[in-house]
A = this chain, B = another copy of it.
């Protein structure tokens, strides 16, 4: 099953429409290309519906939202919904400002999202209607550990039921959950938090995987999370071998996503179904 999902991305080369932030947009585009898709960034209200129509999925990321682009997000999301394209939300920093929190709820009200990916603080903000997000990072008191994992899974299933979206909570341990089924992904490396954009890149990867696997988005999302995490592990080995720093790590991370073959992926995945 995972093999089909993986190969679909390379064979179908889905077009992914991104309305995303200007901080990590280049990395997102290169990740989409690296895994086998094709990115289009377009955020003007007068073209987003048309652009999203020729695409296979839509990635909405509020990292550097502004009044102009929020309108474009809603228009693109609604059109994607009409066309049954998978729509993925990355609520960057929701809980850190009223604009981010209220925009997140506005988007959830207007658009039916297939997947929502955030750190635990961002996802809790969505569940509670307010948050204690420390900027764009997760609050330490919220972190998912082996001790509270069952609790977090219940919470994810509950939120999935409420929103209709697959919930992806990323951190040291990653959770992927719909209302009934959950995956725990234990791939990844702490160095991923030392560069900007690993969250955004993963959301772009999920949008690409879902765009090529419309009929199987829960497993496609779980696999994308695994691909990202395993690439993070392999990149760390490369950094050590090359005595590199964080910028080398960023390069090796995208390199590994682009070089990934199913055989090594299968051998390295640490995905547990619950």
Q: Decide yes or no: A254 and B258 within 8 Å by CB, A26-B27, A40-B93, A64-B41 being known contacts.
A: no
Within 8 A of B (CB), among A216-274: 244-248, 250-259
Instruction: Give complex CA distance A100, B43 in Å.
Output: 12
Chain B residues with CB below 8 A from A180, complex form: none
Chain B residues with CB below 8 A from A247, complex form: 30, 34, 250-255, 258
Q: Which residue of B lies closest to A248 (CB)?
A: B255
Chain B residues with CB below 8 A from A61, complex form: none
**Could you mark each residue 12-38 of chain A with 1 if its beta carbon is under 8 Å from any beta carbon of chain B, else 0?**
000100000111111101100110001
Instruction: Give complex CA distance A144, B149 in Å.
Output: 55
Chain B residues with CB below 8 A from A248, complex form: 251, 255
Q: Decide yes or no: A42 and B97 within 8 Å by CB, A26-B196, A54-B135 being known contacts.
A: yes
Q: Which residue of B lies closest to A243 (CB)?
A: B259
Instruction: Give complex CA distance A24, B22 in Å.
Output: 10
Q: Decide yes or no: A196 and B29 within 8 Å by CB, A135-B38, A257-B245 being known contacts.
A: yes
The stretch among A65-73, A82-90, A110-118, A181-189 that forms the contact with chain B is A65-73
Pick from B33, B40, B97, B100: contact of A194, CB under 8 Å: B33
**Could you mark each residue 99-122 of chain A with 1 if its beta carbon is under 8 Å from any beta carbon of chain B, else 0?**
110000000000000000000000
Instruction: Give complex CA distance A42, B54 in Å.
Output: 30
Would you call B29 and A26 a contact (CB within 8 A)?
no
The stretch among A45-53, A156-164, A169-177, A205-213 that forms the contact with chain B is A45-53
Chain B residues with CB below 8 A from A255, complex form: 244-248
Pick from B24, B44, B93, B96: contact of A66, CB under 8 Å: B44
Interface pairs (25), CB distance under 8 Å: A15-B134, A23-B29, A26-B26, A26-B27, A30-B196, A34-B246, A38-B135, A38-B137, A39-B136, A40-B96, A42-B64, A44-B65, A44-B67, A46-B98, A51-B96, A51-B97, A54-B135, A245-B255, A245-B256, A245-B258, A245-B259, A246-B255, A247-B251, A247-B255, A248-B255
